[in-house]
């Protein structure tokens, strides 16, 4: 995409990413620099292939699927509410979904059902709750 074809928002994002890269070059500290702007952080993570290390959701681990009770439009989601699920992978913000402050993951229930879940819908499991 030629620079002339970029929207103002795209030009602004590129400028922010350039500043981010310059900061990384100066400090060498990815962790500090990636905490300031969630949207920039998500897009920079994709661009630089930087994994999350916030200690919360981990691929391969089990979590309780806390699909909100008030959501009823997706019956399969409702049917699996409260069950333990395994996180298969984190989706790439911007490529798979629009980042809105909550990361998205692919999950699998014990019966083989797979779906996408927001980070806020996954709670720690101390013992197998399914």
Q: What percent of the chain has pLDDT over 90?
A: 32
Contact 116, 87 (CB under 8 A): no
Looking at residue 57, what is its pLDDT? 86
Q: What percent of the chain has pLDDT over 70?
A: 57
Contact 108, 86 (CB under 8 A): yes
In tens, the pLDDT along 65-78 reads 999 999 889 999 99
pLDDT (average), residues 117-128:
84
Sheet holding 122-124, edge to edge: 114-118, 104-109, 84-90, 62-65, 122-124
Looking at residue 41, what is its pLDDT? 55
Band (pLDDT 50/70/90 cuts) for residue 104 is: confident
pTM here is 0.56
Euclidean distance between CA atoms 109 and 57, whole angstroms: 16
**41 CB-near residues (< 8 Å, 6+ apart):** 34, 35
């Amino acid at each position: 995409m030629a620079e002339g074809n970029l929207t103002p928002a795209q030009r602004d994002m590129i400028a922010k990413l350039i500043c981010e890269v310059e900061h990384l070059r100066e400090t060498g500290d990815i962790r500090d620099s990636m905490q300031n702007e969630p949207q920039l952080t998500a897009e920079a993570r994709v661009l630089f292939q930087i994994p999350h290390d916030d200690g919360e959701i981990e691929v391969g681990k089990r979590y309780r699927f806390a699909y909100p009770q008030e959501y009823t439009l997706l019956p399969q989601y409702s049917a699996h509410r409260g069950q333990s699920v395994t996180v298969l992978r984190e989706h790439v913000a911007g490529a798979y979904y629009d980042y809105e402050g909550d990361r998205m993951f692919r999950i699998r229930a014990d019966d083989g059902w797979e779906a996408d879940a927001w980070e806020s819908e996954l709670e720690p499991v101390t013992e197998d709750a399914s």
